[in-house]
Structure 1
Amino acid sequence: MAISLQKGQRISLSKEAPGLSKMMCGLGWDVAKRSGGGFFSNFGGGGQNYDLDASVICLDANGKLTAKENIIYFGNLQHLSGAITHTGDNLTGAGDGDDEVIIVDLPRIPAQIVKLVFVVNIYDCIARKQDFSQIENAFVRLVNAANNKELARYNLSGKEYLGMTGMVLAEVYRHNDDWKLAAIGNGVNVNGLGELAGSYS
């Protein structure tokens, strides 16, 4: 039975899934339907689709991003170590289930990387006049890749994120010999991934 995480909650991945080595992080979302229906009812500001981008920012023991190669996103689909792989960009959020998937091989993560920050931002949000209050059913879930068992799910409501264009979803971090997961769920007002990642520099 998967744990439905609340904002600020932390769990031990080794306790929830003993022997866990490879996990899949799935992120999904739907666009809030506008009243009135019609052909453009599922489109955002300016008649554009909502393009949410999931990324992982790898931090050192000081909580710092030390190299741009430590950002895994649609423009850098795999970490140099091979430990983290982004399976590709989804431009619209259309369809059921996971819209973007990131696979993490925990034993292959270099020792100098202590924390993985899972984030999502709205592409071209300023020009399109879009924010997270217009997104519904956003979630992040962790799955044990060995048996496809869902370990944890964190559901996000878009209503409290008015004016927010990025979100820090969750952190996976080393604690002694254990990996732990923290549900964060903090909305931020940023113009793209670069600005979001810059807060860790």
Structure 2
Amino acid sequence: MTITLQKGQRISLSKEAPDLTKLMCGLGWDVAKRSGGGFFSNFGGGHDYDLDASVICLNANGKLTDNKNVVYFGNLRHSSEAIVHQGDNLTGAGDGDDEVIIVDLPRIPTQISKLVFVINIYQCIARKQDFGQVENAFVRLVNLSNNKELARYNLSGKEYMGMTEMILAEVYRHNNEWKMAAIGNGTTVNSLGELIKSYC
């Protein structure tokens, strides 16, 4: 049975799936339709919505020690091979997961204590886009040993109007087990690079 997480809720991955080794993090979204908008509408600047999923790997002090510890469309594979991004989706077209990140928990280096899953809108300022124009955003965790969905966190609502980046979830070590926290915090930073600086 899938757990539908609320903002701020935490679960133990070890308890929910004792045999868990490989985890798929699927991120998806739909673009909200503007009622009454014409073909040349300024909604979203006339561009496709390119949402990018990334993972920031932090140490026990919550710090990013090396930019190589950021897995995103420009660095699809962590050097440990423990985290692999399946590729960039430029439009969000299609059903289901728009971007997928595979995490092999036993292979996560011991110096990494927390994985922060984020979504940002590519060129959000130039394209005049924010998450108020996106709906049905979700993050889901799937146990790849049996393809069962462990948890789903749905992210939508007017509170994200004007926000251009979202910290969706954290997977972290605690007392020798892995846990997941649904964060759901929207920010107004303009790029992944800006967010990364806050962890340095």
Q: C-alpha displacement at 1:196, in angstroms?
A: 1.1
- Paired residue secondary structure (2:65): coil
**1-structure distance, mates of 2:106, 2:36:** 51
Amino acid at match of 1:141: R
Percentage identity across aligned positions?
80
Give aligned pairs, total.
200
Structure 1 residues without counterparts, runs of 5 or longer = none
2:122 is the alignment partner of 1:131: no
8 Å contact from structure 1 (residues 115, 174) kept in 2: yes
Amino acid at match of 2:86: T
Report what 1:60 is aligned to.
59
TM-score by length of 2: 0.97
8 Å contact from structure 1 (residues 166, 190) kept in 2: yes
Report what 1:4 is aligned to.
4
**2-structure distance, mates of 1:124, 1:100:** 18
Report what 2:117 is aligned to.
118
Report what 1:79 is aligned to.
78
Q: Evaluate the alpha carbon distance shift between residue 18 and residue 197 of structure 1 in structure 2; reply closer, same or farther with a 3 A threshold.
A: same
**2-structure distance, mates of 1:145, 1:121:** 26
Q: In the TM superposition, what are the counterparts of 1:20-169 in structure 2 within 5 Å? A: 20-36=20-36, 38-39=38-39, 44-169=43-168
> What do residues 156-180 of structure 1 show as CA deviations (whole Å, max 9, x unaligned)?
0142111110000000000011100
**2-structure distance, mates of 1:133, 1:37:** 16
**Moved >6 Å (runs of 4+):** none
Q: C-alpha displacement at 1:36, in angstroms?
A: 1.8
- Paired residue secondary structure (2:45): helix
8 Å contact from structure 2 (residues 138, 154) kept in 1: yes
Report what 2:184 is aligned to.
185
- Paired residue secondary structure (1:196): helix
- Paired residue secondary structure (2:100): strand
- The Cα RMSD (Å) is 1.2
> What do residues 59-82 of structure 1 show as CA deviations (whole Å, max 9, x unaligned)?
000000010000000000000000
Q: C-alpha displacement at 1:142, in angstroms?
A: 0.1
- Paired residue secondary structure (1:184): strand
Amino acid at match of 2:135: E
- Paired residue secondary structure (1:112): coil
Greater shift, 25-34 or 158-167, is seen at 158-167
Q: Evaluate the alpha carbon distance shift between residue 104 and residue 44 of structure 1 in structure 2; reply closer, same or farther with a 3 A threshold.
A: farther
**1-structure distance, mates of 2:25, 2:32:** 23
Greater shift, 47-56 or 156-165, is seen at 156-165
